[in-house]
Amino acid sequence: MATALSGCPLCQSAGGALVWRGQELRVIQADEPGFPAFYRVVWNAHVAEFSELSAAQRGRCMQAVVLVEEVLRELLAPRKINLAALGNQVAHLHWHVLARFAWDSHFPDAIWAPARRAQDTARIAAIAAKQPLVHDRLNARLAQWQQSLSV
Q: Encode pLDDT of 61-100 as tens digits.
A: 999 999 999 999 999 999 999 999 987 778 899 999 999 9
CA distance 134 to 40: 14
Q: Convert the pLDDT of each residue in 22-58 to its tens digit.
A: 999 999 999 999 999 999 999 999 999 999 999 999 9
**For the structural domain made of 9-106+117-150, what CATH number should be given?**
3.30.428.10
Q: What is the pLDDT of residue 2?
A: 53
- pTM, two decimals, is 0.93
Q: Phi and psi at residue 41, in whole multiples of 5°?
A: -100, 115
Spell out the domain ranges in the chain: 9-106+117-150
Q: Convert the pLDDT of each residue in 91-141 to its tens digit.
A: 899 999 999 999 999 999 999 999 999 999 999 999 999 999 999 999 999
Closest CA to 28 of 102, 90, 80, 74: 90
